Amino acid sequence: MTIRLTWKRLVLGLVAVVLFGMGFAWSGLFPIAASSGHWAITDWFLHWTMQNSARTYSTFQTPKEVHDNGALVSAAGHFRQSCAVCHGAPGTPPSPVMQAATPPAPDLAKTVDDYSDRELFWIVRHGVKYTGMPAWPAGERPDEVRRMVGFLRRLPGMSAEDYRALTAAPPGPLARCTGCHGGDGKGRGQTDIPILAGQKEQFLLSALRDFASGKRQGAVMQGAASGMTETEMRAAARYFANLPGLRSGSFAAPHPTADRGLPGKQLPSCLSCHAPGKAAPVLSGQRPEYLAARLRQWRGEEAVIDARKPRDPMAVIARRIPEAEIDGLAEALSR
């Protein structure tokens, strides 16, 4: 007996399959316990799907620059605080508690070479669904993701001693701060870490509060500040403010934009906010590389309108500074 396939029978068959699947899900018989693990073929299929997805989306959802190997202390510090508990680190095994997840987090020293820099950037930036891998919490900080890609690339050949040198912090109650900023508040010579020594106490305290609340973007600092109490924030702000470092006087190097602004572009002078006695942070003595990078971060990776960040006047100001002037302006402000 031959059963003739018709559109009606095909549709009814599909409806029956969907209803069976929904009924099975409703019954609660599908095991979702992490302790049950995955079948080998399920594990292979999910991992294969993830790799294909990362390869496809990374071709058009990543910026031109996806790798930064120049400053690794902040990336290493964030990895130690947020990633090592699941993935482990050189000389430090992952937590057995976190390895009981399904799927368990891989040993990145063994798996990073399976991915291109662009794929690593996409995975770190966007995370992976149905695993414990979160998206990068500061979506507007691709510079942080680039540094993490640079750090991950170093993992296969990184010794335990190298890792400790990147993440070591002087003992004491401010260890979560001094690991990156150093006991002297001068950022351990890293161009992406600002000098805090001599900065205004109230500015430092406000910055910590903003990072902890998520008002200010920055995964590394959000992770550090979110675990601090108000008392700890005040102690940290007071400690770094009282260290010798930044200078509160006028800028030593004259610069037209710093001194007078650009009236034709409705750009105020830097002195109008950052001169001595003003509430804005101290810039004299700061690293010029850090200042230039911050201005470019405010400008954004793409052309955006000023209204994108109505609460942050620096976003408006930075977009009105000609790109060709940023490095020279940062150099002048830092002196």
HSE-up of 155 (CA within 13 Å, CB side)? Answer: 27
Residue type, 108: L
The two structure tokens encoding residue 22: 């929904």
Q: Indicate the SS3 state at residue 247.
A: coil
Question: How far from the centroid of its chain's Cα atoms is residue 168's Cα?
Answer: 20
Domains of the chain: 73-161 (1.10.760.10), 170-241 (1.10.760.10), 256-334 (1.10.760.10)
Residues 6+ apart with CB under 8 A from 244: 197, 198
The interaxial angle of helices 288-299 and 326-334, nearest 10 deg, is: 140
Question: Distance between CA atoms of 88 and 18, rounded to whole angstroms?
Answer: 42
Which residues partner with 92 through β-bridges? 89
* Distance set, CA 183 to CA 168, 169, 260 (Å): 11, 8, 37
Q: Indicate the SS3 state at residue 66.
A: coil
189: exposed, middle or buried (Cβ count in 10 Å: 0-12, 13-18, 19+): exposed
pTM higher than 0.85: yes
Q: What is the mean pLDDT of each run of 10 residues along the chain (335 residues)?
A: 78 93 92 89 94 96 92 94 95 94 94 96 95 90 95 96 92 88 94 95 95 91 92 96 84 73 86 84 93 89 46 83 91 88
Residues 6+ apart with CB under 8 A from 184: 197, 243, 245
Residue 250: the pLDDT is 60
Residue 231: the pLDDT is 95
Residue for token pair 């401010």: 174
Question: Distance between CA atoms of 193 and 294, rounded to whole angstroms?
Answer: 11
Residue 307: the pLDDT is 43
Question: Distance between CA atoms of 150 and 40, rounded to whole angstroms?
Answer: 32
Question: Distance between CA atoms of 204 and 83, rounded to whole angstroms?
Answer: 26
Question: Distance between CA atoms of 38 and 43, rounded to whole angstroms?
Answer: 6
Task: Provide the 10 A C-beta neighbour count for residue 242.
Answer: 12
